[in-house]
Amino acid sequence: MADLDPVIHAQARLRIMAALSGLPDGDRMTFPRLQQILDMTAGNLSVHLTKLEQAGYVDVAKSFRGRTPTTTAALSARGRVAFDDYTAAVRALLDPSKES
C-alpha cells in the first residue's frame, strides 16, 4: 500500500489541491476566489498555500491589475503528479482489489 503524501494529506491542503486541480493546465485562480470557494480565512489559506508552494506543488504569483495587487495560484506540473499519485493511493486504500 502506498503512503499518503503528508503535505497533501492535511485537510486544508487537500481542499486547496482539489480546488486547483479542477483548473485546466495554465489557468490560475485568484486568492480571494480560492478563499471564497474553500471558506477559509486569508491567514489560514496563506499558511497552507506557502506550505504547498515550498513543496513545489503550487505556483503562487503576485502581480498588479492596474494599481491593485493580485495574488493567483495554480498547481505546478509536480503538484498535478503529486495529486494524481495521492488520489490513486486513496483509491487503492479504499478498494485494494483494484490495485495494479
C-alpha cell of residue 72: 493567483
| pLDDT of res. 98 | 67
**How many CA within 13 A on the CB side of residue 75?**
22
- Its domain, for residue 23, covers 6-91
Q: Is the pLDDT of residue 100 over 70?
A: no
Q: Is 26 inside any structural domain?
A: yes
pLDDT band at 65 (very low <50, low <70, confident <90, very high): confident
The model's pTM: 0.90
| pLDDT of res. 96 | 77
Q: What is the mean pLDDT of the chain?
A: 93
Q: Is 10 inside any structural domain?
A: yes
6 phi-psi bin (left φ>0, alpha ψ -120 to 50, beta other) = alpha
Q: Is the pLDDT of residue 1 over 90?
A: no
Give the CATH number of the domain where residue 52 resides. 1.10.10.10
Task: Quote the number of domains for the chain.
Answer: 1
Report H helices in the chain: 6-9, 11-21, 31-38, 42-54, 77-94
Q: Is 98 inside any structural domain?
A: no
